[in-house]
Amino acid sequence: MIDFLAAFGLAFGVVLLVELPDKTLVATLVLATRYRHRPVLIGVAAAFAVQCVIAAIAGRLLYLLPKRAVEAAVAVLFAIGAVLLIRESLSEPAHAEIEEITAARAATSGWRVALTSFGVLFAAEWGDASQIATAGLVARQGEAVAVALGAWTALVSVAAIAVGAGKLLVRRVPVRIVHRVTGGLFAVLALLAASNAIRG
């Protein structure tokens, strides 16, 4: 039970740190300004659930490999995550792109809003740093269910924050600085995993 809770907490913390200033918040905020909040949250939560399951399966497959291969794979995953985060910190968030997607779909029914939210977030977050981090954490710890639940809870928490207080948060959080700090953290994790892979 301790391992489960530790894996859950680690995944929650890492994904929350990665996603709090990320396009997840911006995309959900834009959707929430266009549509009713409940179907938006249902849609984005479903998208996150599918992505977390895919990431956990990928990570579990990596976990079955020999330890040295796992550490090498984890190093690569975190290095990719670091590059993605640092690259995002050097450019403005794609507010306009997200607004175009949502404005083009003037859905009114709850189901259509949920499906629109699902599609926007699923596309926006595919291959994102949080999905890579989830796969890497599962590969390292082997606790697929705990990591997936922790990551999903963090993602839904970010979406809920965006719906409830997103505008205030976007004004106060220095997005580029947080992306750079998180990218640096990913780079350190990549180096540690690479070191473990080399030592065998």
pLDDT in tens, 37-47: 888 899 999 99
| Greater pLDDT, 134 or 68 | 134
Q: Which amino acid is at 187?
A: A
107 phi, psi to nearest 5 deg: -75, 145
Q: How confident is the model at residue 106 (pLDDT cuts 50, 70, 90)?
A: very low
Question: b or e along 99-116 (b: 16 or more beta carbons within 10 Å of the residue's beta carbon)?
Answer: bebbeebebeeeeebbbb
Which SS3 state, helix, strand or coil, does residue 100 take? helix
How far from each other are the two terminal CA atoms of the chain, in whole angstroms? 28
- Print the domain residue range for 95: 2-199
Do the beta carbons of residue 24 and residue 124 sit within 8 Å? yes
Q: Which of 40-49, 57-66, 138-147, 162-171 holds the top average pLDDT?
A: 40-49
Q: How many domains does the chain have?
A: 1
- DSSP state string for 122-162: HHHHTT-HHHHHHHHHHHHH--HHHHHHHHHHHHHHHHHHH
Do the beta carbons of residue 136 and residue 66 sit within 8 Å? no
pLDDT in tens, 25-67: 767 776 776 777 888 899 999 999 999 999 999 888 877 777 7
